[in-house]
Structure 1
Amino acid sequence: MEEIPVKVAVRIRPLLSKEILHNHQVCVRVVPNTQQILIGKDRVFTFDYVFGKAASQDDVYSNCIKPLLVSLIEGYNATVFAYGQTGSGKTYTIGGGHVGMLCASVADEEKGIIPRAIQELFQIISENHNTDFNVTVSYIEVYKEDLRDLLELETNVKDIHIREDEKGNTVLVGAKENQVESADEVMSLLEAGSAARHTSTTQMNEHSSRSHAIFTITICQQRDKNSSAAESTTARSIQMITSKFHFVDLAGSERVTKTGNTGERFKESIQINSGLLALGNVISALADPKRKNAHVPYRDAKITRILKDSLGGNAKTVMITCISPSTSDFDESLNSLKYANRARNIKNKPIVNYNPDWDRMDEMELEIKALREALQNQQSSRVSRISQVSQDWGQEKSKIRALEEQLAQFQLECYNHRHCTEEAFSLFHELKVMSGLAKSQKNRLESWLCMAEEIRSETASIPGTDDAISSGREEPHHITILQLKRELKKCQV
């Protein structure tokens, strides 16, 4: 099983208007022509992708997310999650924010990762005619360590549980999964879920996310494994593949001194920071080669349990760290970069999500089908041969019957001829002793008697002449009888 590292991207937002107004300076810069970031005077970090303040939404999507979408269609699980302090641009980047950012009036270039991925996914589905797709979506938020279904608000938080299936994959039991047929349908559900998400205004962010949100697209494919259309339909084999794409918008890390949160907002901040601390501990445990076999504290928080497959498990994962360039956020930005740098050392083990038993079942079904066809062909051939033999035997029987009848007729004729010959032979013997015949007649009669005697001797010496007389032997007899009949008539005259 091949191990691949978690890909890490860093996006630096531009200075906000109020930061410019208060004369904040830039403390984070992209090193030109590299994938490196310089923070402060001398701290340099290298990442898989680096996006400066001029980077567009399409730049982020094309470089980071499009390869994940390709992997999703191939059957791999995929995850993208955005991390950073509150107000650093996570929700804007991920594209799962408040309804105003999702509506149709938003310019295409401003749309985030989720809307772009949804649009391209259904474009791929419409172009792939040899595969049947079944697409479902779910939308969950982790609010103060409770799981809440954003697509079915009436679901009790106690009815949603995190479990592991027989293969060790993390699943959410009790969360509603909506089957969808189009990108517009998915966007409608995303908007409805985002409207129900816990958000609030703080001193740092007008639309601050107060929960971690996980939007999941699940696709089930029924794929024909035979690529050649010329192959016989009897050799077709269907492959079932199910894969998931998690879009995770993490709530931002917060400092009370900056957010000014009190009361309920303060309690939310504690829960948010607690979940992010648990996530940091998981990343540290997975990224440290010295702790390769050490315990990984996935169970310390709900968000880390949900992301278990995405961090060190069966998924291709991209982490997008969003940071502020302002000097006032230097400490938070530095911590975020350290956080992201550790994540680069995490190794995942993604595999194509299909059951190998299905292939074996397909092979067995094909083998059974081939054996049935061979048996059927053999039976058909056997019946055909029997029919042909029966037909040939019938024709041979008819020929034998005709030959037997012909033989019987010849035997009867032969018998009659021999009888006549014997009668004529006896008669000529009687004539021989009679007086009144001329000398020439006697000589001729004597000559014919000698010839007849010779023929009788020759015939008697041939085996089986009493039962069957060949046509070659019948002809002299036949000629002799005619000649004797002629001579008899002459004598009678």
Structure 2
Amino acid sequence: MKRLIEMAVEGFRCTCFCYGQTGSGKTHTLTGPPGLFGIKAVPYSDNHGLVFRSFVYLFQLLQEHTSRTFVLKASFLEIYNEKVIDLLNPGTCRKPLAVRWSKKARGFFVENLFTVDCEELDDLMAVLEEGMRNRSVGRHNMNDYSSRSHTILSVHITSEEPSENGVFISRFGKINFVDLAGSEMTKKTQSEGKTLEEANNINKSLMVLGYCIASLSDPKRKGSHIPYRDSKLTKLLADSLAGNGVTLMIACISPARSNIFETINTLRYAARAKKIRTKPVVLMDPREALIISLKREVASLQSENEYLRSALNVYSSSSSGDASERIIAQTPPHVDLEELAKLEGPQLAELVRLYMKENEALRKDNGDLFLSRDLLQRDHEIVCRENERLLKKLEEVNSSPLIPARPAFSADILSGDQESSSTNIWTNPIPDTDNKTAVNSSKQIPESVQKELDKRQIGARNTANLKGIRKPSSNDDKIHAPKIAQVKNTNAKDKSKES
């Protein structure tokens, strides 16, 4: 999971989803026990699941990248009876949202989905708590807190890194936490009425997801049609399953002997998903990607140009030296005039033949050298023209008006001086049976965090709207990101005071 979060910060699209039968612990793995997000929500607890621990590790990573500016946005939705519901803005009638196809992004998206700007860990926790309170939960014979819908919590991570000539390189990472509803057998759950309808829709969407995974994992069916459009769930998970992202699947199984068939099916499901191969790609702005590719091409051509220049100089100097040595070696022995007068006809003819042979070899060597020189000069001119063209194009791109970097505000995300249960995220402390002090039990919530929690009223049951609030900070060395919206009911008088 750490590797997934690191890749999301670098600009990859990552997904983590839990699959298994009902009551196997999918929701507990991701978010924790059911009562954790009740009327009195616990901000920091060792019982929190993978989502909270991932949030803490995410902000720890953002603190380490001081040269970048980060912008975090979060959204939370559920798929209930094949209807997409916004958990952050459900409304009184829980109006479903439309899932549409984007030609630009070449993927599916949810229209009018409410997104929240996040700056602190508490902001992401507020989003998680609000969504968990609004999601659909039911009860049947196998589970008292059964999830009746699929939920997708998405965190968009936009990073800006300064480059040469005042250009900012942007990367658009994303990490999804998907809590799938459990597959149910109506014979065991004895569902009736509304619960039976929910179970049918859950099993239908999971069946379509199984078909997609089976088609993607079978090499014989490579290039065949994948039924993504048969379900809202597969539409939204299309990029995660076979796109340009990275996906982690957590298979949750029950230890009960009576659920052995469901356990076998879950393991087969995971085995098929493991065979799927994707090609992760960093998501960037097209213009900035063009700038980076042009810079790489210019650097490559410049190195090639230097190599050709050095090769031309070395070859010309070595060729002249070899030619002189070859001429001296092949020159016939010197003959004085007196000796030449004493030579007879056959000896004179042999001497002339040797000189003619030497002249022919020298002409051939000269022709080869001139040809090599012409080829090297032509290649050198081509490389120079290409360099000039690319440099001109790069100057045009740099001189075009760019969107200025988004102003960011620093905030104290996590305190690195003190250890707490929120920082020690990847340990599972064992409770002390001897009534001794447990690990991290004496640690209290920082006073600044407690004031912020009291101010925001995290855990209040009556929530009305999410309003974005930004607070500038004087700490320029910390992570920059936008401020999340608060969830509270305020009247017009309070709003005027806050403004």
TM-score by length of structure 1 reads: 0.57
Q: 1:289 to 1:328 in 2, by over 3 A?
A: same
- Pairs within 5 Å for 1:3-402: 65-95=1-31, 98=34, 100=36, 105=42, 108-154=45-91, 157-225=95-163, 235-360=165-290, 367=395
Query: 2:239 is paired with a residue of what secondary structure?
Result: coil
Contact 2:167 2:398 in 1 (8 A): no
Structure 1 runs not aligned, ≥5 long: 1-64, 227-234, 373-493
Question: Are the aligned partners of 1:80 and 1:318 in contact in 2 as well (CA < 8 Å)?
Answer: yes
C-alpha change, 1:120 and 1:293, in structure 2 (3 Å) is same
State the shift of 1:347 in Å: 1.2
3-state DSSP of counterpart to 2:128: helix
**Cα deviation 1:37-72 (Å, max 9, x = unaligned):** xxxxxxxxxxxxxxxxxxxxxxxxxxxx11000000
Describe the shift of the 1:97–1:197 C-alpha distance in structure 2 as closer, same or farther (beyond 3 A): farther
Q: What is the count of residue pairs matched by the alignment?
A: 300
Please say if residues 83 and 321 of structure 1, whose CA atoms lie closer than 8 Å, have aligned partners that are also in contact. yes
Deviation at 1:170, TM superposition (A): 2.9
TM-superposed deviation, 1:257: 1.6
* Cα 1:199–1:97 shift into 2, 3 Å: farther
Q: Partner amino acid for 2:52? A: P
Amino acid at match of 1:313: G
Q: Hey, what's the Cα distance between the residues in 2 that align with 1:278 and 1:306? A: 13
* Partner of residue 42, structure 1: none
Structure 1 residues 210 and 184: alpha-carbon distance in aligned structure 2, compared to 1, 3 A threshold: same
1:373-404 Cα deviation digits (max 9, x unpaired): xxxxxxxxxxxxxxxxxxxxxxxxxxxxxxxx
Q: Please state whether the residue corresponding to 1:221 is helix, strand or coil.
A: strand
Give CA deviations for 1:394-417 in whole Å, capped at 9, x if unaligned: xxxxxxxxxxxxxxxxxxxxxxxx
Equivalent residues of 2:85, 2:97 under 8 A apart: no
Shift of 1:97: 6.8
- 1:263 deviates by 0.9
**Equivalent residues of 1:162, 1:305 under 8 A apart:** no
- Measure the CA separation in 2 of the matches of 1:123 and 1:370: 34
- Displacement of 1:365 after TM fit? 9.2
Once residues 210 and 347 of structure 1 are traced to their aligned partners in structure 2, the CA distance between those partners, rounded to angstroms, is 30
For 1:431, the equivalent position in structure 2 comes to: none
Check whether the contact 1:162–1:306 (CA below 8 A) recurs between aligned residues: no
CA distance 1:140–1:296, shift in 2 (3 Å): same
Find the structure with the greater CA-based Rg. 1
Deviations 1:311-345 (A, max 9, x none): 01121000001001211000000011111111111
Gaps of 5+ in 2: 296-391, 401-499
CA contact (8 A) 2:32 2:47 kept: no
- Superposed CA deviations along residues 259-298 of structure 1, whole A, max 9, x for unmatched, are 1211100110000000000000000110110000110010
CA contact (8 A) 1:85 1:254 kept: yes
Listed one character per residue, the Cα deviations across residues 158-193 of structure 1 (whole Å, up to 9, x for unaligned) are: 443232341313322211111111110111121111
Give 1:133 deviation, angstroms: 1.0
> For 1:255 and 1:275, how far apart are their aligned partners in 2?
14
Report the residue type matching 2:218 in the other structure. Answer: D
CA distance, structure 2, for counterparts of residue 96 and residue 301 of structure 1: 28
Aligned runs of 1:426-445 on 2, under 5 Å?
none
Q: Any idea what SS the aligned residue of 1:134 has?
A: strand
Contact 1:82 1:248 (8 Å CA) reproduced? yes
SS at 1:207's partner residue?
Answer: strand
Distance 2:43 2:104 in 1: 43
- Taking the aligned partners of 1:162 and 1:282, their CA distance within structure 2 comes to 19
Distance in 2 between residues matched to 1:371 and 1:292, nearest whole Å:
45
Amino acid of the structure 2 residue aligned with 1:259: T
Q: Which whole-Å CA distance do the structure 2 matches of 1:236 and 1:96 have between them?
A: 45
CA contact (8 A) 2:99 2:232 kept: no
CA distance in 2, matches of 1:287, 1:337: 14
Distance 1:100 1:366, change over 3 A: same
Q: For residues 284 and 252 of structure 1, do their structure 2 counterparts lie closer, same or farther at Cα, with a shift above 3 Å needed? A: same
Check whether the contact 2:217–2:276 (CA below 8 A) recurs between aligned residues: yes
Change (3 A) 1:370 1:309: closer
Identity %: 36
Structure 2 CA distance for aligned equivalents of residues 306 and 270 of structure 1: 20
Paired with 1:88 and 1:328, the residues of 2 have a C-alpha distance of: 13
Q: TM-score, normalization: structure 2?
A: 0.57
Deviation at 1:357, TM superposition (A): 2.2
SS in structure 2 opposite 1:179?
A: strand
Structure 2 CA distance for aligned equivalents of residues 97 and 302 of structure 1 = 27
Query: Helix, strand or coil: the match of 1:329?
Result: helix
